[in-house]
Amino acid sequence: MESVWKKEVPPFAHGQEGALPRRTEVAIVGGGLVGVLTALYLKENGIDSVVLEAGEAPGVGQSGRTTGKITCQHGLKYAALIRDKGESAARTWASACQGAIHAYEGIVGRLGLSCDLEMLPALLYTQKNDGALEREASAARRCGIAAELRRRTDLPFDVSLALSYPRQAQLQPYKFLLGVASRVRVFCGVRVTAIKGRHLLTEEGDEIEAQRVVLACHYPIGLLPSTVFTRLWQSTSYVLALGGVRPLAGMYYGIDRDGLSLRSHGSTLLLTGMSHRTGEEHPPAFEALEGRAREYFPEGHVVTRWAAQDCMSEDGLPLVGPASPLTPHHYIATGFSKWGMTGAMLAAQMIAGDIVGAPHFAAPLCSPARFTLSRLRATARQVGETARGWGRRLFEVPAELSHELAPGEGEIALSGGIKVAHSRDEQGEEHILRPYCTHMGCQVNYNPDTLSWDCPCHGSRFSEEGKVLDAPATKPLSKKPTAQGDTP
């Protein structure tokens, strides 16, 4: 399940050795793109920071599993932005994203990174919804993007219309990320479990004092009084890497319900799709993706496959800036809605800009304090989903535990009157865990595609042994199940 990116790169050898510093100007939680880019911009402005990464290396989260398109084409974005926020806001967003693409080019040049950066068009395509693409074309042009409608593409299936955004970019995201990470101070294997004012506590019992804290951990952890968890949800998508496929001349994104995202990396083609709310039961995703791959690319063979998830925001724009007016020294950067390559660059520029007193021109658009009607709808939905997760915990009565599970299967079951999360890993070993997410206590679901326990409320993920795979959880699933009404 390793991404094609990680398979190509030797282990990271630039992590900081020795004890954590007791004090720092800025502590950055999470060594994904947001974390390392923020640290780079701060360093370039003479500000001391440390990146604290829970994994064994930077980029073990979504940034090492992305498809790595760097584009101002974010699906059907600009028509919706003009409708909901006005033309000036939409133009500002387009210009900020175009600036983020230039910033990638700038960093690659400045640091001399070798990361397969290529300038290519990014295309939206449809097989049935020409009207939506025509409206998007006109909106994108009003925002200053020279987008062009086309009837033909080099995709191996017919499209009824495509919309091309010229001079966008793609790169090998993991090479880029590790290149940046090797220029900043990153401590690996450090999981932050709590933030108390200006103090961060780690799983190992260390404490760091920071003037400012940047939560670059994808889904912000441990934040009160922020209400960010009432607005965000996570969506999982699946990626298949196919070898032996003729490179495509552009990066593609299908706007139809069953549309796929496609990009080439040399003769490897990445086919992405089958999205669903993280933690939700779903039809076998890799099987469906492999069916589409056989149909469109019969010459290809599967090199690897993996899944990733992203935080979705109420209005499709990220949430970047102070977490709440009561905690101006806690920054969040999240809600990239599957466009976090440009988003991470902008988040890093916005947070570093705020810290050095040079605010980014698009920062107000991403302010976590913004209020829209869609925020109310998102909050209602999130509260409903959390209630549903707790409802399953309290009222759903599963069958007695069976020992019949095949490798790669999992079930919520009753064992001695107590609910358990029961799975059998691919080596045939059985695991029994407490089935309640350690973030807010919702009942988790087994995902047979990723062999993990995923939480449908806020998208935390756990391995079959109970280890935290994805935030917002910071603590593992317990191996000692207790009565189901217990608090987490």
Ligand X SMILES: Cc1cc2nc3c(=O)[nH]c(=O)nc-3n(C[C@H](O)[C@H](O)[C@H](O)COP(=O)(O)OP(=O)(O)OC[C@H]3O[C@@H](n4cnc5c(N)ncnc54)[C@H](O)[C@@H]3O)c2cc1C
- Residue from 175, 305, 338, 422 binding ligand X (CB under 6 A): 338
Per-residue x/- marks for ligand X, 241-280, CB under 6 A? -------------------------------x--------
Is 108 among the residues that bind ligand X (CB under 6 A)? no
- Residue from 26, 221, 362, 451 binding ligand X (CB under 6 A): 221
Is 192 among the residues that bind ligand X (CB under 6 A)? yes
Does residue 147 come out as left (phi exceeding 0), alpha (psi in the -120 to 50 range) or beta?
A: beta
Residue 287: Cβ within 10 Å count: 11
Sequence-distant (6+) residues with CB within 8 A of 220 are 226, 228, 323, 332, 334, 471, 472
Q: Which two tokens stand for residue 362?
A: 């698009």
What share of residues in the chain are helix, strand, coil (percent, to 5)? 25, 30, 45
Confirm if 263 and 252 have CB atoms less than 8 A apart: yes
- Residue from 264, 278, 342, 443 binding ligand X (CB under 6 A): 342
In the numeric block, the tokens 């490179």 are attached to: 247
CA–CA distance, 64 with 387 (Å, rounded to integer): 32
Q: What are phi and psi of 213, to 5 degrees?
A: -120, 130
- Residue from 69, 175, 185, 434 binding ligand X (CB under 6 A): 69
- Residue from 77, 218, 422, 431 binding ligand X (CB under 6 A): 218
Least distance between ligand X and beta carbon 364 (Å): 20
- Residue from 4, 26, 28, 34 binding ligand X (CB under 6 A): 34
Our CB check for ligand X shows the closer of 53 and 354 to be 53
Query: Which of helix, strand or coil describes residue 330?
Result: strand
Name the residue among 62, 83, 95 with its Cα closest to residue 236. Answer: 62
Name the residue among 9, 112, 94, 105 with its Cα closest to residue 59. Answer: 9
Our CB check for ligand X shows the closer of 213 and 401 to be 213
Q: How many residues bind ligand X (CB under 6 A)?
A: 41
Stretch that binds ligand X, among 103-111, 126-134, 179-187, 303-311 (CB under 6 A): 303-311
CA–CA distance, 382 with 312 (Å, rounded to integer): 12
CA–CA distance, 338 with 344 (Å, rounded to integer): 11
Our CB check for ligand X shows the closer of 310 and 315 to be 310
Is 308 among the residues that bind ligand X (CB under 6 A)? yes
Q: What are phi and psi of 486, to 5 degrees?
A: -60, 150
Stretch that binds ligand X, among 130-138, 153-161, 210-218, 447-455 (CB under 6 A): 210-218
Strand intervals (E) in 127-198: 148-150, 161-170, 186-188, 192-196
List binders of ligand X among 416-455 (CB under 6 A).
none
Least distance between ligand X and beta carbon 35 (Å): 6
Strand partners, 330: 213
First and final CA of the chain: distance in angstroms? 30
CA–CA distance, 283 with 292 (Å, rounded to integer): 14
Is 330 among the residues that bind ligand X (CB under 6 A)? no
Stretch that binds ligand X, among 6-14, 60-68, 116-124, 456-464 (CB under 6 A): 60-68
Least distance between ligand X and beta carbon 161 (Å): 22
Residue nearest to ligand X (CB): 340
Our CB check for ligand X shows the closer of 253 and 297 to be 253
Stretch that binds ligand X, among 28-36, 146-154, 225-233, 432-440 (CB under 6 A): 28-36
- Residue from 3, 63, 226, 278 binding ligand X (CB under 6 A): 63
Least distance between ligand X and beta carbon 91 (Å): 20
Q: Which two tokens stand for residue 45?
A: 């402005």
Amino acid at 66: T
Is 217 among the residues that bind ligand X (CB under 6 A)? yes
Q: What is the rounded (10 degree) CA torsion for 378, 379, 380, 382?
A: 80
What burial letters (b/e) apply to 221-231, b meaning 16+ CB within 10 Å?
Answer: bbbeebebbbb
Per-residue x/- marks for ligand X, 135-174, CB under 6 A? ----------------------------------------
- Residue from 39, 40, 60, 248 binding ligand X (CB under 6 A): 60
Stretch that binds ligand X, among 32-40, 126-134, 289-297, 379-387 (CB under 6 A): 32-40
The secondary structure element, H or E, covering residue 26 is strand 23-29
Strand partners, 159: none
Per-residue x/- marks for ligand X, 451-480, CB under 6 A? --------------------x--x------
Any idea what the Cα angle at residue 351 is, between residues 348 and 352, rounded to 5°? Answer: 80
Is 191 among the residues that bind ligand X (CB under 6 A)? yes
- Residue from 15, 68, 99, 435 binding ligand X (CB under 6 A): 68
Is 336 among the residues that bind ligand X (CB under 6 A)? yes
DSSP state of 19: P
- Residue from 27, 28, 29, 115 binding ligand X (CB under 6 A): 29
Q: Can you give the binding site for ligand X, defined by CB under 6 A?
A: 29-35, 52-55, 60-63, 66-69, 191-192, 216-218, 221, 237, 239, 272, 308-310, 336, 338-344, 471, 474
